[in-house]
């Protein structure tokens, strides 16, 4: 887009803002009327491990949000010589699920318990049996019931529970609402009605009859894509932009989790389509033509932003261990007086993986920074293992690192492929693992034996996805579905590039997985030995 046209859109409040709270970065993206990014801002942050809980402090949420937005404003000013004061619409997204409880006065009652925690095993197992429906440990209802089981004192004072993006949306609009995709990870939803499952609500209320609240009264209201989710209040405008330049009254779309925004960002919201989001965590979303035939603790049932059923394989760790090794290599280069930028170093190391042996030459890596329910681990210990006579080269090492980011995902996807006979024509990849051209895409295609497509917008991720949902909310024609909007107005000229599985990669990954599963006993032993 020409700078003059973009400047006019910004001045006239025709742009749309999307902000996502990722695990390691808060990203803000402003898109124009053609849905392409015009300006962006970001703030890096990290979760804290405090008192046995992975968490983020809410003070960091606001500091990071304001910083990312301020950087976006500065980016727009530098590029187009105009100040951002309004938007046609905006939306907020965040890492999925978790637990944020508040009392009737809006006081936070317990630390934010994120998706990364594996501390709700007892609640998860009991609710799964009660509902005859898989309840993963990271789901809000699992955290709530675990707190009930432990007799935590705050539980009796709960007036409202929500997720991170639901909290931010509430503070900016006064509305206690959530998108149906994220709602499906708080409490099971009825996809035919896009509401919380009534029978399961009754079962949970009977289970917690001693509490002064009923579960349906403390959950946020469910909204679907395109619905009006409120407007930015004057107080909310100052929270987002303390300079006072941002106008109030801006339309907000329903807040969604990063699973939903990932589906939108890859245009994979129709049955028999799927996407893989690969960053700090890794998860695959497969939109189903019908419900699964059985219950699998490795498979979560969630929903698209319009409410269609989705099978989700979620793994807690993807690139954290790989990032740690890259950081180590960067330190070595710096000690040697060699200055290599972070993106260039990643590209160099990722591309080295393509030179490695197809099975990594006998090298095995476990990337578990935290517990991994799919693998049956309550805690994680990053672990690298090799035979003494293995070919310990940089190429094989990096290939093992990249393969390890996909190994646990493969375990879950095998259930869909082998037990449920799910057929996928292709998966769409997005997130940091796919930023280096071809590498992550090629290896993922081999790991899952499915063609993998990556669009040019893959690196934009969820912030762009929630911006698209906000644009749909503001611009959709009467009766226009999200699927039609994305197909006709966003992705009509952005099919992306597709890589077919390479036979050597498929065989190599299968060989790697055989060693990986055999060596899993060492990983479990490391968890027990290193406390």
For residue range 334-353, what is the model confidence (pLDDT) as tens digits?
Answer: 999 999 999 999 999 999 99
pLDDT at 72 over 90: yes
Give the domain ranges of the chain: 1-96+227-266+463-498, 97-162+177-219, 320-454+501-529
| Token output for 491 | 């992705």
Q: HEC profile for 422-481?
A: CCCCCEEEECHHHCCCCHHHHHHHHHHCCCEEECCCHHHHHHHHHHHHHHHHHHCCCCCC
For residue range 175-230, what is the model confidence (pLDDT) as tens digits?
Answer: 999 999 999 999 999 988 999 999 999 999 999 999 999 999 999 999 999 999 99
- Residue 130: exposed, middle, or buried by beta-carbon count in 10 A (0-12, 13-18, 19+)? middle
Q: Do domains 1-96+227-266+463-498 and 320-454+501-529 have the same CATH topology?
A: yes
CATH 3.30.420.40: does it fit domain 320-454+501-529?
A: yes
Mean of pLDDT over the chain: 94
The mean pLDDT of 400-415, rounded to a whole number, is 96
pLDDT of residue 78: 97
Q: Please, which residues have CB within 8 angstroms of residue 232's CB and are 6 or more apart in sequence?
A: 90, 172, 173, 240, 246, 247, 248, 249, 250, 252
pLDDT at 458 over 70: no
In Å, how far from its chain's centre is CA 46?
15
| Token output for 462 | 């969820």
Asked whether 111 and 50 are in contact (CB, 8 A), the reply is yes
Is residue 20 helix, strand or coil? strand
The beta strand positions in 288-381, using DSSP E, are: 300-303, 309-315, 363-366
Q: Please, which residues have CB within 8 angstroms of residue 403's CB and are 6 or more apart in sequence?
A: 360, 365, 443, 447, 509, 512, 516
Asked whether 39 and 112 are in contact (CB, 8 A), the reply is no
In Å, how far from its chain's centre is CA 430?
10
What are the residue ranges of helices labelled H in 160-319? Answer: 164-173, 180-183, 198-207, 215-218, 234-240, 258-265
pLDDT band at 455 (very low <50, low <70, confident <90, very high): confident
The model's pTM? 0.81
Dmax (CA) for the chain in angstroms is 66
Q: Which residue has the tokens 């999200």?
A: 482
Rounded to whole angstroms, how far apart are CA atoms 84 and 63? 19
Tell me the CA distances in angstroms from 209 to 24, 25, 140, 212, 276, one per residue in order. 39, 40, 18, 8, 40
Total residues found in the chain within this entry:
531
Rounded to whole angstroms, how far apart are CA atoms 293 and 277? 25
Rounded to whole angstroms, how far apart are CA atoms 264 and 287? 12
Is residue 318 helix, strand or coil? coil
| Token output for 387 | 């035979």
Q: Please, which residues have CB within 8 angstroms of residue 153's CB and are 6 or more apart in sequence?
A: none
Rounded to whole angstroms, how far apart are CA atoms 515 and 358? 13
pLDDT of residue 460: 60
Nearest to 256 by CA among 181, 326, 203, 156: 181
| Token output for 326 | 């890259």
- Other Cβ atoms less than 10 A from the Cβ of 518: the count is 10
Is residue 414 helix, strand or coil? helix
Torsion from C-alpha of 46, 135, 432, 75, nearest 10 degrees: -60
Tell me the CA distances in angstroms from 196 to 68, 88, 219, 431, one per residue in order. 34, 31, 9, 30
The mean pLDDT of 144-172, rounded to a whole number, is 98
pLDDT band at 528 (very low <50, low <70, confident <90, very high): very high
Asked whether 441 and 452 are in contact (CB, 8 A), the reply is yes
Nearest to 46 by CA among 73, 76, 26, 69: 26
* Highest mean pLDDT out of 189-198, 293-302, 412-421, 506-515: 506-515
For 272, list phi and psi in degrees, rounded to 5: 70, 15
User: At the fourth CATH level, which superfamily is domain 97-162+177-219?
Assistant: ATPase, nucleotide binding domain (3.30.420.40)
The domain 1-96+227-266+463-498 is classified under which CATH number: 1.10.3470, 3.10.450, 3.30.70, 3.30.420? 3.30.420
pLDDT at 16 over 80: yes
Beta bridge partners of residue 285, listed in sequence order: 275, 312
pLDDT at 271 over 90: no
Cα distance from N-terminal residue to C-terminal residue, the chain? 55
| Token output for 9 | 């859109």
pLDDT of residue 459: 56
| Percentage of residues of the chain with pLDDT beyond 90 | 81
């Amino acid at each position: 887009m020409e700078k003059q046209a973009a400047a006019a859109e910004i001045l006239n409040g025709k742009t749309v803002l999307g902000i996502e709270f990722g695990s390691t970065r808060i990203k803000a993206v402003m898109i124009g009327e053609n849905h392409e990014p015009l300006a962006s801002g970001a703030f890096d942050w990290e979760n804290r491990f405090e008192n046995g809980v992975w968490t983020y402090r809410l003070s960091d949420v606001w500091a990071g949000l304001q910083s990312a937005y301020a950087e976006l404003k500065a980016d727009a000013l530098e590029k187009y010589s105009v100040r951002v004061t309004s938007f046609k619409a905006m939306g907020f997204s965040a890492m999925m699920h978790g637990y944020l409880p508040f009392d009737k006065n809006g006081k936070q009652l317990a630390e934010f318990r994120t998706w990364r925690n594996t501390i709700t095993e007892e609640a998860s197992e009991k609710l799964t049996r009660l509902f005859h429906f898989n309840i993963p440990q990271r789901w809000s209802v699992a955290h709530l019931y675990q707190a009930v089981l432990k007799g935590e004192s705050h539980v009796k004072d709960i007036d409202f529970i929500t997720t991170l993006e639901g909290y931010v949306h509430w503070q900016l609009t006064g509305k206690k609402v959530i998108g149906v995709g994220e709602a499906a990870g708080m409490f099971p939803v009825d996809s035919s009605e896009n509401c919380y499952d009534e029978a399961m609500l009754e079962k949970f209320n009977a289970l917690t009859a001693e509490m002064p609240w009923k579960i349906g009264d403390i959950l946020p209201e469910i909204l679907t894509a395109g619905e009006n989710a409120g407007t930015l209040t004057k107080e909310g405008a100052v929270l987002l932009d303390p300079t006072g330049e941002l106008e109030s009254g801006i339309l907000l779309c329903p807040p969604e989790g990063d699973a939903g925004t990932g589906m939108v960002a890859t245009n994979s919201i129709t049955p028999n389509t799927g996407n893989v989001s690969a960053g700090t965590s890794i998860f695959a979303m497969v939109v189903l033509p019908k419900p699964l035939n059985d219950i699998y603790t490795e498979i979560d049932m969630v929903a698209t932003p319009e409410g269609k059923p989705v099978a989700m394989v979620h793994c807690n760790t993807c690139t954290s261990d790989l990032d740690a090794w890259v950081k180590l290599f960067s330190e070595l280069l710096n000690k040697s007086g060699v200055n290599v930028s972070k993106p260039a170093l990643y590209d160099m190391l990722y591309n080295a993986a393509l030179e490695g042996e197809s099975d990594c030459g006998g090298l095995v890596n476990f990337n578990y920074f935290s517990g991994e329910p799919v693998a049956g681990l309550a805690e994680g210990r990053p672990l690298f293992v090799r035979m003494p006579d293995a070919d310990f080269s940089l190429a094989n090492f990096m290939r093992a690192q990249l393969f390890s980011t996909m190994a646990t995902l493969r375990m879950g996807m095998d259930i869909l492929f082998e037990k449920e006979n799910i057929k996928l024509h292709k998966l769409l990849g997005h997130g940091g693992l796919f930023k280096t051209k071809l590498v992550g895409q090629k290896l993922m295609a081999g790991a899952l034996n499915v063609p993998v497509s990556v669009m040019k917008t893959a690196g934009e991720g969820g912030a762009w996805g929630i911006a698209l949902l906000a644009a749909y909310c503001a611009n959709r024609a009467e009766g226009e579905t999200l699927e039609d909007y994305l197909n006709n107005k966003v992705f009509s000229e952005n099919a992306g590039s597709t890589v077919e599985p390479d036979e050597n990669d498929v065989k190599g990954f299968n060989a790697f997985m055989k060693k990986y599963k055999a060596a899993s006993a060492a990983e479990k032993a490391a968890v027990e030995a290193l406390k």
